[in-house]
Structure 1
């Protein structure tokens, strides 16, 4: 029906056209009578991207076409038909846009409309300013924002500073000439006058802390020379012996005063709470040269303490010790003063030229002077780790085959060695103190790297004054070419030997690898000889705070990770404990780390949140905390958390709420910066402490 209606309407219109009386179509009089265009205007549509692109759409009545004069100095107008538009790019500013409407009869009407182009200020400005890891006087700045075209940065070191320009995704750096706090101001510019800015406070600190090893840039060691002393940091001209480092300090004592020397200020007061013995490597041109090491208050030189020692080697490195045990720790000391040959005026010659390096604060005497004692780690340079072989055994100093930073002993049972060939741990005089055996604590442990599984290893303890007073026991290796901790329970003494007698003073131990078999060249690595408390092989449980002298914290390193338990070198903030764990991530694999086994399974029935205190060299370093089943590493759970601070302690939290509590977990695995291969430097050295389950 609708279709029929449309057909009838068309026929009706055709009938009207045919019946019209006017037959000519060349009469234009109607145009001559048309009015001039009216109600002219323009719609300005400005894009919101700070490009200045404007869409101009003119409007009006009775207009055949428009001519638009853009108002920015462009001479020729733009012709626009009704209903159309034009696009033009303007700088930021104000423009008078002139619009001419031309009618069908040529009559024109004109209108002027003001166009304002104002760019948006940048938004979401984010600025990162951080002290460079390699140069503590350098700050690196990056920035990003929306609608920005350029950044300018003021580093705040000078009053009339010319800003430096940089782009997004670009890092701009500045090296400050001195320590202090500086306000960094970053200004984000758009295409126009509108700007956005952010300020960051950055603190440049004296980076000098003990130990001083002079491996940084020479400018980072600002020695102040006085009265003839002259210290510079140079390439080590005498690399070898105990000092193969790349950089050392050189003191040339020139003509001046008998007390000529040099002083350097540290970044914060020296902590004498635990360690009070300074050690310093010195290369002297002669024996008997005097070396004075003095500490002073940062602002009052009358508050000081000093010790003087003499060299014992000519033209060779030696490690000198300065005993500060009687220093008044109530005072604050932040300066180190060095004077060679106090009392003698130097002449600047080779005879008055000294090298020094590795100034550190320890609690140990010079190398090899302390008697061996449990636990034995072979890492304390003050201890005499001499061992005594017998039965044609051969033991030498060596390094861990899985961690070159770890010192161990290597014992070879050569071809033809006696079935009873062994090695006494230490000298004939044994340990400094007796092994503290009790009725419930009768075990010792040794970490062993064996060439094969099921090799018998015997451990014997005795009174060093009477070898007939002894007891021994055997255990067997369970893995090949991997570290394991062997536990020796002297209650279960070997058949045919005397039983354990707690009235006997046992202060000497000997180890026998592949006991009962004639030597055939097998090689064994061994380390970490310890007395075990708690009545079990592990005897470790949460929390792990590393403070127990009776417990053995046996970490098993892998693929570049290296953990040792050390005195806390960073007692501050939330962690002033005496002992902490230290992880050095050496070259190896991206997953290099270490694990420790607890004596019993971790109880996750109620508590499921781990907390660990961490001291990281940089913010953003990742710590992966993983727990594993004792026998099946495929049964595990892990969480990874990133540090937010650098150079200070913080407590990281690991949410284990999703762990499967039906499984059993004994091992704790630590991996720092999973995915990155370490380089063994300070940038890959981390401290950790107080592993707790909350």
Structure 2
């Protein structure tokens, strides 16, 4: 079948750190089938059996409903629309189908109970949500009922929220406090059944700022379990539970403006398990690090668990702020008979037991770096890896940016290794590459940057940029604290040193923690397949 494609959008971005080619088209054939198909079914309380269907789902452009009572023609309903149907008393299997624009569909069977008896044996559960402040979850079930209405009792919000019998409904209050919640269970009968309960709505204490961003590290110097800074061990299960749900303990992944972190709720003990039959050797590491936020817990016990046992270390916590914890590996190995060569699990225990929740981020083992990526950069190290990242949809072949043998050992550059960036045909005018430093720049060494550049042409603008990688991100995900300075090549096919005076940029401040180097070859010109080389990036006065 011929692929149908529509123009979706054209996004103009200053810098996007990705080597993948941007695709401004949506392939309709690639759209998945609808998900989460259901319907809210309500019935009038007049013994007529008039049921209203409000179908729901994700990725749906049209619904079809077969009522399950012998009616052969399906009702067609648009998203957000409803349809009515008259039933005789009984229990029916309605089929609700959601369809996408490309014709894919998902169907579910939903029972519809139509009874002219009033609901009986009404059971209502009301709970504060464990992860969301001031959110209350209600669930009501009753014999003969089709649905129920919940009046949450908040001033200025008189209208109820409806849910199918036996399903849950949630509501978030503006303020914590005491409210009267009324549940009215309904069937097709004129008479309804209801229950009211005075309920205390509570808040969930949670952080409003992220933990400090971990420093840049060489991959060989860190083993990451959870966090966004480093590559995590694959297959890690952050909620094996170990039977603690019965203690009232639970787990969620909390998202703070795009920064995800673990949330262990009412922490008795919870833990993290590596993938089945997997263990890690952390004997070469010096510390385990984690960042912990809590409003109530006084202490947290961290245990490393090997195939032969476990050993705990307890640390104090400071309420309502992030506590940065670094535990020496020796604190575990000094406990008799314990090895860290085959760690399979980590366990966290709260004090007091099940007495509060914690938010945990940046769990990793690390060691002091034997060598680091920092200024000056000459790319001659045999032990360091230089993780350059390309952007601008430039085609660099299998290796986006490469450290290569100097192709022109003449003039002012006879070093062995240099950085090669190919601005391939069709690359964006802002295509280039970036490198994270393991430490911020020290401007006592100079506020100008010198770069040895090999350009295939005269007049190529080379843009040098440095960023504070941990600064607030803009709408494209790029740091908002940065400096950009340009210089122009004056020779072709030969090495020359270009100078970038950072003080010429009004945004430059020596107090900023600049820790990223970015190079834009032939800036403001679309790629034409030309190759540029860079070397000896260093500071000067």
TM over 0.5: no
TM-score (norm 2): 0.33
User: More relative contact order in 1 or in 2 (CA 8 Å, sep 6+)?
Assistant: 2
